[in-house]
Amino acid sequence: MAGVKPDFKIYDTVPKAFWYHVNQKPKSVANWIKSQGIWQAQTWEEYGHLVKRIGLGLKFFGVSKGDKVSILSQTRMEWVACDMGIIGIGGITAPIYHSNTAEQIQYIAEHSEAKLMFLEDQEQLDKIIEVRDRLPSVKKIIVFDDYAPKDIPNVISFREFIENAIADDSFEKCIEKSNPSDVISFIYTSGTTGDPKAGVITNKNVISSIKHLPKILDISEKDLTIAYLPLAHIAERLLGHFLKLVCGNQTAFAESIEDMPNNIRQVGPSIMFGTPRVFEKFYAKISTGISDATWFQKKIYYWAIDIGKEISKSNGSNSFFLKIKEMLAKYFIYNKIKKIFGGRIRYMVSGAAPISPDIVHFFNWMNISILEGYGMTETTGIISINTPNAIRIGSVGKPYPNTQVRIAKDGEICVNAPQNIDKYFNDKEASARLLEPDNNGKFWLHTGDVGYVDDEGYLFITDRKKDILITAGGKNVAPQYIENLLKTISYVSQSMVYGDAKPYLTALITLDEDEITKFARDHKILYQDLADLSKKEQVVELIKNEIQLMNEKLPSYETIKKFKVLEQDFDQDKDELTPTFKVKRKVVIDNYKVLLDSMY
């Protein structure tokens, strides 16, 4: 049955599509998991058997249709198996970011009315114990890894939970009864302003989001992706989990986000999804690696970049001599860059935040396409995407099939699509602001992003509507564009541009610890820690020179006139970052108000 895809008119729900693959290709590989140092294959039959046992275990502990179950864990195979088990019996998954604090976890578990929770390990269990008395609705807690003590009331191991499953055909019957309109998950927004809101996701939303992706992105069951970003976020959930329900492609689960670079080299994915920060880190590693290269190696590297630029300008009409140069550039440089990603990469997809066009251009010159896409929790992860055959760098591609995009009078991007959610859970006011009907009764989702559509139908995003700065001189400035440029500086981890109602723009800069400590070693700078290093004259001068080079690419009113290097990175524990590493502008401004004002 290789290559066969489910007919979504029949298999019109997530659990039906999942069970289709379990039945039609039982011996084909679904997942790869690293165990005891070896990558081991999990077939669809094995995957389905585990999911069924989880579903039956949930039923044994009293979970029924419409009940909410939370998963608090890093990305791993058990996460997706539990998700499918919950959805399979008609439950609702309410994921929680593993990086959330105890108070943030309490808010989501309480708000979602979670009845049961799956936890990863001792660290997450300790957080729950801290707030347990404030979570009366949580009746049972299941822990994937070892924990202590073993006699905590209503806490059991994952193995013990599985053993309670009573084998019968009730799981398959639940799947048969599943309906496109059934709610299958809450996905909590990043919460850049206030408490996170719970997007209500249905089977119809997910099927609408995934069913066209393999065709437009040329994905088959032979393709291998690697899952490493948080599954509590819609992007990884969509591309690292739900996407395989279309064509049955394989997924390798990274050991952790820190181990991801090594895991990529080991498994050799053909397609890779990442946030801009992931690609910025790879770009920084390559840039600093070249700075340590010999004169001859640098010469070849920059020659290969020039060839890449020439090829990109030729639009596919390469001359014979250019093709010869391309072969040489591949041999000496491009293939070595590809080996960083395992050697088999066909293309990479970027989403969840805007990526600097400079990063996309760089990898394009290195013969690796980055396809930037656009979506949000409220659109089940997708609005538009560049495709292998239709790329416009700087844009987020053309609208996804069956997706209508219009630009409001104030520049806001509005969307009408089957993947749009209908509401936020228990928040009528926010739901009404999100979705507004037109004169024909068609509901348009307000993204909060500002942008435009060009003559060929490509969508461009200029900034968040609420983030646009207006300087004292009356100039409108999109800070995200400048911040993305700043993050192409290999020594910079995060940045925040400031200047609303001010005479000029300033910035807060945080340092990439790996790259700046390497700079310190190479230049024999003595320091105690990162905070001490951030104050060193050589470091401040280094950042100043890099910003001056960046300013040359900008009109004068968008240049950074002054900056401050912070002693530490923005911190999620201080609520300065969302779990997807978006800067919470208002929080950062409040935390550093005195420092910001000192630059004026």
- Give the β-pairing of 29-35 and 250-253: parallel
Q: At what angle do helices 14-24 and 170-177 cross, to 10 degrees?
A: 130
* Count of domains observed in the chain: 3
Q: Distance between CA 210 and CA 242 in Å, rounded?
A: 7
Q: Distance between CA 54 and CA 56 in Å, rounded?
A: 5
- Give the β-pairing of 114-119 and 140-143: parallel
Last residue of a domain, one of 231, 249, 267: 249
Secondary structure letter of residue 64 according to DSSP? -
Q: Do residues 497 and 483 lie in contact, with contact meaning Cβ atoms separated by under 8 Å?
A: yes
Domain contains 256: no
User: CA neighbours within 13 Å on the CB side: how many for 162?
Assistant: 13
- Domain identity same for 535 and 417: no
Last residue of a domain, one of 464, 481, 511: 464
- Domain identity same for 243 and 304: no
- Domain identity same for 234 and 341: no
Domain contains 3: no
- Domain identity same for 494 and 438: no
Could you give the angle at the alpha carbon of 87 between the alpha carbons of 352 and 65, nearest 5°?
130
Domain of 441 in residue numbering reads as 276-464
Domain contains 520: yes
The 8 Å CB, 24+ separation contacts for 109-112 are: 109/70, 109/135, 109/137, 109/138, 110/134, 110/135, 110/137, 111/195, 111/198, 111/425, 111/426, 112/68, 112/70, 112/186, 112/198, 112/425
- Domain identity same for 197 and 280: no
Domain contains 18: yes
- Domain identity same for 156 and 220: yes
- Give the β-pairing of 469-470 and 476-477: antiparallel
Locus of tokens 């040359």:
552
Domain contains 9: no
Domain contains 114: yes
- Domain identity same for 513 and 410: no
| Identity of residue 451 | G
Last residue of a domain, one of 210, 234, 249: 249
Query: Exposed (0-12), middle (13-18) or buried (19+): which is 524, by Cβ within 10 Å?
Result: exposed
- Domain identity same for 448 and 475: no
Domain contains 385: yes
- Domain identity same for 90 and 195: yes
**Full-model pTM:** 0.86
- Full 3-state SS string of 558-571: HCEEEEEECCCCCC
Domain contains 303: yes
CATH number, position 515? 3.30.300.30
Q: Would you list the DSSP string of 497-534?
A: EE-TTSSSEEEEEEE-HHHHHHHHHHTT---SSHHHHH
Q: At what angle do helices 77-88 and 170-177 cross, to 10 degrees?
A: 70
Give the other-Cβ count within 10 Å of 460's Cβ: 16
CATH number, position 423? 3.40.50.12780
- Domain identity same for 237 and 101: yes
Q: Do residues 134 and 106 lie in contact, with contact meaning Cβ atoms separated by under 8 Å?
A: yes
- Domain identity same for 311 and 457: yes
Residue 479: cis peptide before it, omega within 30 degrees of 0: no
The pLDDT profile of the chain, 600 residues, written as one tens digit per residue, is 445 789 999 999 999 999 999 999 999 999 999 999 999 999 999 999 999 999 999 999 999 999 999 999 999 999 999 999 999 999 999 999 998 889 989 999 999 999 999 999 999 999 999 999 999 999 999 999 999 999 999 999 999 999 988 889 999 999 999 999 999 999 998 655 567 899 999 999 999 999 999 999 999 999 999 999 999 999 999 999 999 999 999 999 999 999 999 999 999 999 999 988 899 889 988 988 888 889 999 999 999 999 999 988 887 677 888 899 999 999 999 999 999 999 999 999 998 888 889 999 999 999 999 999 999 999 999 999 999 999 999 999 999 999 999 999 999 999 999 999 999 999 999 999 999 999 888 999 999 999 999 999 999 998 888 877 888 777 878 888 899 899 989 999 999 999 988 899 999 999 999 999 999 999 999 999 999 999 999 999 999 999 999 999 888 889 999 999 999 999 887 888 877 778 888 889 999 999 999 999
- Domain identity same for 348 and 455: yes
Tell me which residue of 116, 75, 583 sits closest to 353, measured CA to CA. 583
